[in-house]
Amino acid sequence: RVRLEHVAFGSVLGEDRKPYRARSGESVRLKDLLDEAVARARRLVEENDARRGDDAGQAPLSDAEKDAIAEAVGIGSVKYADLCQNRGSDYVFSWDKMLAMQGNTAPYLMYAHARIRSIFRKGAATCDDAPIVLEHAAERALGMRILQFGETLSAVSTTLLPNLLCDYLYELAGAFMAFYENCPVLRAPDEETRVARLRLCDLAARTLKLGLGLLGIRALQRM
């Protein structure tokens, strides 16, 4: 049996709190919006790549890689900026907020995933079937957050509010960052702890990737 339900949503506003339009006063075409997002993201990729320099001996990003990353970040940022709002509310469109590397944004979540994957590249590490040990408070907090993924998806399907998934992914990324700061992974005190923490990292990355994918956003290996 099929059930049809009208899903209402709010308006996208400019910083003047009026319906978002181009400078000419005309409605913004989606193609133009996405092209602008990709162009802005490309500049960010260039800046971040120059600031990062050589990443633990890794080859610098090629122009093709930068283009692919910029497209994923730019388009993903537009999608996420819309989906992370309560769909029934109006919101103000802001390029700066949309492309920010901090806060509840697509770039922040995509960076968190890329950062986790960089751990495995740097350590040439594997963690297949390793037991998960949650001794540190930050390990437990991350583990608990990962376990809440299914519950979050159920809530999204019931309420038709994708911002609940966005909020969850933001909290998951924050839990990983706290874990990463407090729990050495590649330099763990012993091999058992190292492998267990790698397994936790892998589960966090898989969950971030799946969640972003459900939002139509591609997770990146490098950023």
Q: Is 218 exposed, middle or buried (0-12, 13-18, 19+ CB in 10 A)?
A: middle
Report the distance separating Cα 124 and Cα 190, nearest Å: 17
User: What's the pLDDT at 58?
Assistant: 64
CATH T-level topology, domain 12-214:
Isoleucyl-tRNA Synthetase; Domain 1 (1.10.730)
Confidence of residue 125 (pLDDT cuts 50, 70, 90): low
Confidence of residue 127 (pLDDT cuts 50, 70, 90): low
Q: What is the DSSP letter of 82?
A: H
Mean pLDDT of the chain: 91
**Over 70: is that where the pLDDT of 124 sits?**
no
Torsional sign, CA 19, 21, 24, 26 = negative
Beta-carbon-side half-sphere exposure of residue 53 (alpha carbons within 13 Å) = 1
User: What's the pLDDT at 176?
Assistant: 98
CA distances from 53 to 62, 114, 180 (A): 13, 16, 21
User: What's the pLDDT at 53?
Assistant: 57
pTM for the predicted model, two decimal places: 0.90
- Asked if 130 contacts 199 with a C-beta cutoff of 8 angstroms, the reply is yes
User: What's the pLDDT at 68?
Assistant: 97
Please tell me the least confidently modeled range out of 97-101, 120-124, 185-189, 219-223.
120-124
- Asked if 73 contacts 107 with a C-beta cutoff of 8 angstroms, the reply is yes
pLDDT tens-digit readout, 52-91: 655 555 678 899 999 999 999 999 999 999 999 999 999 9
Q: What is the pLDDT averaged over residues 157-165?
A: 96
Domain parsing of the chain, residue ranges: 12-214
Q: In sequence order, what E strands does the chain have?
A: 12-13, 91-92
User: What's the pLDDT at 168?
Assistant: 99
User: What's the pLDDT at 52?
Assistant: 67
**Over 70: is that where the pLDDT of 24 sits?**
no
User: What's the pLDDT at 75?
Assistant: 98
Report the distance separating Cα 165 and Cα 111, nearest Å: 17
Confidence of residue 131 (pLDDT cuts 50, 70, 90): confident
Tokens at 91, concatenated: 């919101």
List, in order, residues 6 or more apart from 93 with CB less than 8 Å away: 12, 13, 14, 15, 20, 81
Beta-carbon-side half-sphere exposure of residue 139 (alpha carbons within 13 Å) = 16
